[in-house]
Amino acid sequence: MKKLAIYTAILLLAVGGVGSGYYLSQSADMEPTDKLRIAMSTTPLSAPIIIARQLEIFKKHKIDVELMPFRGGHLCFEAMMTGQADLATSSESVVMFNSFERQDFRLLASFVESDNDLKLITYGTDEKPAITDLNHRKIGMVKASASEFFVDAFLIITGQHDLSIEKVYLPPQDLGPALIAGDVDAISVWEPFGYQLNRAHPDKIYQFPSKGTYNLSFNLVSTKQHAQSHYRQHVKVLKAIDEAQLFIAKYPLQAKQIISEYLKVPLNELEWTWSDYVFRLSLNNSLLSNLQTQGRWAVAREKTIALSVPDFRTLLNDKALRHVLESSKED
Amino acid sequence: MINTRLKIILLISLLLTSIIIATFIALKHLQDANFDRLDYIMQTENAVDTLRSRLWILQEFQDEEALTQTKAAHDILSQQLSTHHFKKIAITSIFTNLIRMNDNLGALLTFADKGLATTTKHGITSTNGMLTARFNMTLQAMSEELTSAQSLMIRHVAHQQKIILYFAICILLLGSLALLHQIQATLKVFNQSLLRLTKGILRLSKGDLQTKIMIQQDNELSDVAEQFNKMTLRLNETTIKKEALQFEVQRQTQQLQAQHEKLKFVAEHDDLTQLYSRSAFERQIDTAIARCHRTGIHAALLFIDLDKFKQINDSLGHHIGDQVLVECAARLLKSVRSSDICARIGGDEFVIWLEPISGLLEVKLVCDKILKNLSQPLNLPSHQVRLEASIGIALLPNDDVARQALIKIADDNMYLAKLTTGNSYQFSESANSALNNLHFL
């Protein structure tokens, strides 16, 4: 009986130890909720952030996030740099263009990629146009954005970089109407504008096959100072995004439903692009390579007064991301 | 039941052993399966590396052969990617993305095919330069994805192993506790029961037939205890019967002894006077003569006959005659020593054996005492009787040494005494001639 009592005591101690550990680990999370503002582009690419907000995953990680919607990543970036928001969602093109102007911001993580988000679209042609048909034509695009790089990259890859085209810079929401109105002959535009044009004029819209030409990534960006001083909050935000991405992978239908309701985008429109998205947290050399490519292009095409590309490595701050990936390894 | 408990212990032990074996089998199976998956990822990495080297050659040489080789490497990678059989969502997503990237590479190769004719130019604004950048970017992403898949796979394996081990540890811990409890409980029951049995047997061995072994638990030893109790009870009953029997035998033996003594007494004594009968007297005399011979001591035989007893008997009746005889016997016994032998050998004839005697004077004194006591008046309810007696004396060894001869000499001397009126006694003439010289011849 004595021995049984000893073994029972050991078992109870073990259970007690585990319980205490669990309690302590729980109590470690019992810290005050932090507040953070994220300038978010109103595109399905922001899905993980929207899901984390709607499913209160941010709250679960003790962070109160206020989402500030903007039409495009460049506006989000601007809002973040002017202090309206703490974090911004921006494409790597926005990051690249801005990196020539300033070095006081940091990429915390890339959370989505798409290889088919940018489209080169023409309108009204009965026959399938050739790329050479764009010679001496006006192409609408958003200045210093992914859309401008995409057009150039596409023409270069297809061997048509010597074509004489006239670039017409317009806000993204004005590109579609300009194309329909005949103000431009083609537009380089991102989703969901491509879908909207296709839905409105299914027979008159032509999209050049451009798969593989360009990889768009959406990234979480903060100021340099914020990245240094708000490491803990950034870890929480990235953890919540990681959890939201797991939800998207497990329950894609529910995820699309939530995004559709939040962005007030029809489910069909969402379906159009959803399969092109790869939701995952990363900050690796492929993004660096993408930035380098676009940076070299910007210098070569004199999109900047700079004569060389900045050192993009200094703009990447993966400290918070590494912490999140390491802790997810332990789960 | 101890037997059942032992079976449970055996069962738990077998279960624990099975769990250990099953855990090892599961871990081995897991290891094999994961080795295959990791091998698959490595093969894919090799295919990506091959494609990378082919693309480098293509970018460097820009000829048909390089393009053909690149496309072949691309096809091999496509084939490799199409055969993935991962089930985990995270890894499946990675491979879906890899397939997408590989498709993009395919599209870029189509563009490269068309660009072969163009003048080779380097730099990002050239087709070759942009394609190289795109190829490198995509291959870099593919390598990163594969590393990520590998990492996920290893984590997944570690997680699975951890779950299996934790599960096995928990089960083994609980099983061991259950086993320990069973063993402790069995040992306790066994020891307690055995101790009680031992104590019970010890008490029985010391002769305590009332002992009982009480075992509360229902087990094999309690059955033994029950049988022991039954055995003790029967043993107790048997012992009681034996004792009762012995007591009865003893009682009956005593009864028989008493009856025997009574019968012997009746056989050896006169019914009326309770003195020795003639036959008993003769046996006693024989023993006494032998004793006298052996020890050399002297004895005397007195033959006493009541005078006028017939008259008393006739005139007063046999009933009174009997009372007279009884009183006469009592007075005779009163007159002699307790070691002397008195007997009634006829109607009013008595004999007395005096032993030892030291001389004639001692015999005479006894005779005088007898005659005096007999002469005392006898008060009967309606009469008073005064008795007189004649005594014939034979001396051993002076007169003879044989019983018959001594009796006859005494009888003869009694008749001689009868010749004298009233109380008298008579020795043999040889005795009379040496009255004071009694000795053995």
Taking the Cβ of residue B173 and every Cβ of chain A, the question of whether any pair is shorter than 8 Å is answered with: yes
Taking a C-beta distance cutoff of 8 angstroms, is the pair A59, A30 a contact? no
pLDDT at B439: 45
How many angstroms separate the Cα of B313 from the Cα of each of A300, B323, B382, B388? 188, 10, 14, 14
Q: Which of B90, B106, B125 sits opposite A300 (nearest CB)?
A: B125
The answer to whether the Cβ–Cβ distance between A285 and B108 falls below 8 Å is no
| 0.85 surpassed by complex ipTM | no
**Measured between CB atoms, which of B137, B173, B188 is closest to A293?**
B137
> Over the stretch A36-94, which tens digit does the pLDDT of each residue have?
999 999 989 999 999 999 999 999 999 999 999 998 888 999 999 999 999 999 999 99
Q: How far away is chain B from the Cα of A157, in angstroms, using its nearest Cα?
A: 5
CB-CB under 8 Å, A212 with B134: yes
Per-residue model confidence (pLDDT) at position B122: 66
pLDDT at A226: 94
Confidence of residue A7 (pLDDT cuts 50, 70, 90): low
Query: Angle B92-B94-B98 (CA atoms, 0-180°, nearest 5)?
Result: 115
Alpha-carbon distance of B388 to B312, in angstroms, equals: 12
Angle of CA points A103, A107, A109, to nearest 5°:
175
State which residue of chain A sits closest to B180, comparing Cα positions.
A4
Mutation choice for A interface testing from B105, B137, B146, B150 by most A CBs within 10 A: B137
Kindly provide the residue ranges of all beta strands, DSSP E only, lying in B374-421, ordered along the sequence.
378-379, 384-385, 388-396
Question: Given this model, what pLDDT does residue A242 score?
Answer: 94
Chain A residues within 8 A of B125 when measuring between CB atoms? 156, 161, 297, 300-301
pLDDT band of B440, cuts 50, 70, 90: very low
Interface size, chain A vs chain B, as Cβ–Cβ contacts under 8 Å: 105
Per-residue model confidence (pLDDT) at position B6: 86
pLDDT in tens, B51-87: 999 998 988 888 888 889 999 999 999 999 998 888 8
In this prediction, what percent of chain A has a pLDDT beyond 70? 89
- Mean pLDDT, rounded, of chain A: 87
Q: How confident is the model at residue A19 (pLDDT cuts 50, 70, 90)?
A: low
What does the pLDDT average to over B242-246? Answer: 89
State how far the Cα of B70 lies from the Cα of B315, in Å rounded to an integer.
Answer: 178
Question: Residue A329: pLDDT above 60?
Answer: no
Looking at every residue in chain B, the average pLDDT score rounds to 87
pTM as predicted: 0.65
Residue A225's pLDDT is what?
94
Q: Specify the pLDDT at position A65.
A: 94
- What DSSP character marks residue A128? P
**Contact at CB, B133 and A212, closer than 8 angstroms:** no
With CA atoms as reference, report the closest residue to A251 among B342, B89, B199. Answer: B89
Instruction: Please check whether residue A212 touches B, CB under 8 A.
Output: yes
Residues of chain B with Cβ-Cβ distance to A161 below 8 Å are 125-127
pLDDT band at A140 (very low <50, low <70, confident <90, very high): very high
Residue B172's pLDDT band (cuts 50, 70, 90): confident
Q: What is the pLDDT of residue A28?
A: 46
pLDDT tens column, B317-351 = 888 889 889 999 999 999 999 889 999 988 889 99
Mean pLDDT of the region A112-130: 87
Taking an 8 Å cut-off on Cβ atoms, the answer to whether A159 and B127 are in contact is yes
Instruction: For residue range B124-162, list pLDDT tens digits in order.
Output: 778 888 888 889 889 999 998 999 899 888 888 888 888
∠ CA A53-A58-A60 to the nearest 5 degrees? 125
- Closest chain A residue to the Cα of B106, Cα to Cα: A212
Query: Could B137 and A280 be called an inter-chain contact, meaning their C-beta atoms sit closer than 8 Å?
Result: no
**A250/B137 Cβ within 8 A:** no
Which one of A249, A284, A289 has the shortest CB-CB distance to B136?
A: A289
- Does A173 contact B at CB distance below 8 Å? no
CB-based contact (8 Å) between A251 and chain B? no
Least confident among A16-25, A88-97, B369-378: A16-25
